[in-house]
Amino acid sequence: AHYLKKPGHGRGLLLGGVPGAPPGHVLIIGSGNVGANAVRVAVGLGARVTVASIAADQLRDLDREYHGRVETILSSPKTIADRIRTADLVIGAVLVEGERAPVVVTREMVRSMPQGSVIVDVAVDQGGCIETTRPTDHVTPTYMDEGVIHYAVPNMPGAVPRTSSRVLSGLTVSYALAMANLGVEDA
């Protein structure tokens, strides 16, 4: 949302809108952990939210959780191309375990986005799911391509090391206890 502000070369809008101004449109591609959390944040900000995924069961869960407040669509090149044209913020949250992320947003799709909109490619650690993605860093996290601001920092949690270390430590302890109690295969 920060990069949508005019001083950051964004469109100059609030995702949640205000009385008399409509909310921004967030397109989230992927419905796993990252995508579901992105939905939670975008809904919390008051944005108009669309989530595209190939996982129909996860889309049903999101539809139930948000009582139809979130548009859920099966992901395909056509459905992404149709929705991306009105997106102020696109979050690429595509993950295929152990493989390079598939490119699901082409340069042509990026070109069709409103000027000054923002892409956050969370899949950058696996090569990125947006054709125009190139890895950046925490010092210079954004660049402009096709008139769209791109944020593509590998290891995004590294920007908040105190918090991410605590979370990782907690998960590591839980996993170690599960391995001790259940064995490696069942943990």
DSSP characters over 96-147? -TTSPPP--B-HHHHHTSPTT-EEEEGGGGGT-SBTT-----SSS-EEEETT
Strand 118-121 vs strand 89-92: parallel, antiparallel, or unpaired?
Answer: parallel
pLDDT band at 158 (very low <50, low <70, confident <90, very high): low
Model confidence band, residue 7 (pLDDT cutoffs 50, 70, 90): confident
Percent of the chain with pLDDT over 90: 73
Higher pLDDT, 168 or 40: 40
Q: How confident is the model at residue 119 (pLDDT cuts 50, 70, 90)?
A: very high
pLDDT for 5: 87
Q: Is the dihedral of CA 10, 16, 18, 21 positive or negative?
A: positive
Cα(113)–Cα(90) distance, rounded to whole angstroms?
10
pLDDT at residue number 170: 67
pLDDT band at residue 104 using 50, 70 and 90 as cut-offs: very high
- Report the pLDDT averaged over residues 113-124: 97
User: Does the pLDDT at position 164 exceed 60?
Assistant: no
Kindly report the pTM of this predicted structure. Answer: 0.87
Q: Using one digit for the tens of pLDDT, what is the confidence trace for 62-81?
A: 999 999 999 999 999 999 99
